[in-house]
Amino acid sequence: MQSNRYKGAVRGIKTLNEEAWDYLEEDDIHKWTLYRENDRRWANLTTNIAESLNNVLHHAHMMPVKACIDYTFHYTREHFNMQETTSHEWHAPLSKTMWVQFQDRDKLGSSYTVTCYDFETGMYKVQSIYQRNDDGGTEYTIRYFANKCTCGRWQHQRTPCSHGIAVCRKRNQDPT
């Protein structure tokens, strides 16, 4: 089932360049689009680098050129010094942002019921009482060795979702 957004994009490509569409149509659609993702945008960065720099350096906008360069140099130096100090004081196995995300997902995953279908191939069913999947149910299928979950987060964010973490917890507790 293709979304209206996907169909509109295809029409746009065909209108601009029919040969480009013919080329894309020959290739595996999964390699160049997320057409089955129902407008999900997992982990896509939408802010460009210029906007990020403008946000950081907004105090220097109206300065003369030399003062702007000095400000940028000193700000960058202080920022890197602060990051170095923070990194030396941090003793968790992941970066601070990722560690907080992991802990949140682990806490959520601790309430799930995990059923092992096949330990050798890594097939699991995860039942949630709080979350609903795209079909309105509460069951998610995990393919542990493929790093895949039917929620889609594990594949797109390339970090385990709460369902995947629940499976990791189960495998660690019951290595049978």
> What is the spatial distance between Cα 122 and Cα 126, in angstroms, rounded to a whole number?
12
Confidence of residue 49 (pLDDT cuts 50, 70, 90): confident
Confidence of residue 34 (pLDDT cuts 50, 70, 90): low
Contact call for residues 43 and 157 (beta carbons, < 8 A):
yes
Who's near 43: CB < 8 A, 6+ residues apart? 156, 157, 158
Q: Facing residues of 140 across strands?
A: 126
> What is the spatial distance between Cα 108 and Cα 72, in angstroms, rounded to a whole number?
41
State yes or no: pLDDT of 112 exceeds 80.
yes
| pLDDT value of position 6 | 73
> What is the spatial distance between Cα 110 and Cα 134, in angstroms, rounded to a whole number?
21
Look up tokens 């993702």; give the residue: 37
pLDDT 10s digits, 51-80:
777 777 788 878 888 998 898 899 889 999
Q: Where are the domains of the chain?
A: 1-40, 97-173
pLDDT 10s digits, 7-24:
788 888 888 888 888 888
| pLDDT higher at 52 or 151 | 151
DSSP 48: -
> What number is the average pLDDT over the span 121-150?
85
Confidence of residue 45 (pLDDT cuts 50, 70, 90): low
Confidence of residue 107 (pLDDT cuts 50, 70, 90): very high
State yes or no: pLDDT of 29 exceeds 80.
no
Confidence of residue 38 (pLDDT cuts 50, 70, 90): low
